[in-house]
Amino acid sequence: MAPTGPAGLEDKPRPIVVSGPSGSGKSTLLKRLFDAYPDRFGFSVSHTTRSPRPGEEDGVAYNFVTKDAFKKLIDENGFIEHAQFGSNMYGTSVQAVKSVAEKGQTCILDIEMEGVKQVKKTDLNARFLFLQPPSVEILEKRLRGRGTDKEEDIQSRLAQAEKEIEYSKTPGVHDKIIINDDLEKAWQEFKEFCVPEESS
Ligand code: ADP
Ligand code: 5GP
């Protein structure tokens, strides 16, 4: 019998896992992608215990849940992967990926490093893209410029960034690494990875 994936995705387009330090530009580039190809890609809406930022809509940016609700979903085996990031929990539910795949869309996951490691152990057969800031100093400026995080959160995100960048150097963990220096250049590379036939 053919192996059954965590969400029965064997004959669906391969998911794309986008990772990279907080502030590396994942949301910025993903917004461009979804705007440019609204039907082709679907976002895996994660669960998180963190509070919404201004403008983040529940069920769109994330499913914002309590710690108890998050733990309940872990107990019910509802997550493909989950991890703690700073003081909050984040996770990709089986349902999030399944609902994108059911529409025939390529599923996009925006997740951190521990989640990447866990997805690699599943048979999601994902492609992995890492977004790298030009330097940690520039990352810090961008995180501050975004104006969404408290000082302690910025410090914790920068510490985590060092770990993510270190892990990205492990040979073979990512199919593509894009340095997000000039946004237009990064966008071209991002688009080429996600929509390869347009550049061939
Ligand atoms: P992430 O989703 O990875 O946490 P964001 O997309 O929120 O990162 O980007 C962090 C901040 O950096 C945002 O304010 C965004 O506008 C800015 N930014 C993203 N890419 C660039 C770039 N190439 N040059 C300058 N600023 C950028
Ligand atoms: P933020 O709080 O900035 O939205 O996200 C913080 C970090 O959590 C980012 O690196 C983001 O990629 C990651 N993240 C978001 N959703 C998930 C998820 O479902 N699983 C994991 N492991 N990480 C996630």
| Closest-approaching ligand to the CA atom of 112 | 2
Question: Does residue 3 have a pLDDT over 50?
Answer: no
Looking at residue 181, its pLDDT comes to: 98
Q: What is the DSSP letter of 199?
A: G
Atom of ligand 1 nearest to the CA of 145: 14
- Alpha-helix residue ranges (DSSP H) falling in 103-182: 113-120, 136-146, 151-168
Does residue 62 have a pLDDT over 80? yes
The pLDDT of residue 65 is 98
pLDDT band at 1 (very low <50, low <70, confident <90, very high): very low
Q: What is the mean pLDDT of the chain?
A: 94
Could you identify the atom of ligand 2 that is nearest to the CA of residue 91? 19
pLDDT range class, residue 9, cuts 50, 70, 90? low
pLDDT for 198 equals: 86
User: Which residue from 26, 20, 10, 2 is spatially nearest to 166, judged by alpha carbons?
Assistant: 20
Q: Are 119 and 17 in contact (CB under 8 A)?
A: yes
What is the dihedral angle through the alpha carbons of 67, 70, 71, 77, rounded to the nearest 10 degrees? -170
Question: Is the CB of 128 inside a 6 Å radius of any atom of ligand 2?
Answer: no
Q: Whose C-alpha lies nearest to ligand 2, atom 6?
A: 22
Structure-derived torsion over alpha carbons of residues 42, 47, 53, 54, reported in degrees to the nearest 10: 60
Ligand 2 centroid to 26 CA: how many Å? 10
Segment 85-141, tens digit of pLDDT: 999 999 999 999 999 999 999 999 999 999 999 999 999 999 999 999 999 999 999
Per-residue pLDDT reduced to its tens digit, 170-196: 999 999 999 999 999 999 999 999 999
Ligand nearest to the CA of 156: 2
Close Cβ partners of 54 (under 8 Å, ≥ 6 residues apart): 148
Confidence at residue 188, expressed as pLDDT on a 0 to 100 scale: 98
Residues with CB under 6 A from ligand 1: 20, 22-28, 142, 145-146, 180, 183, 186
How many other β-carbons are positioned within 10 Å of the β-carbon of residue 23? 27
Mean pLDDT value across residues 3-27: 81
Residue 100 has a pLDDT of: 97
**Does ligand 2 lie within 6 Å of residue 146's CB atom?**
no
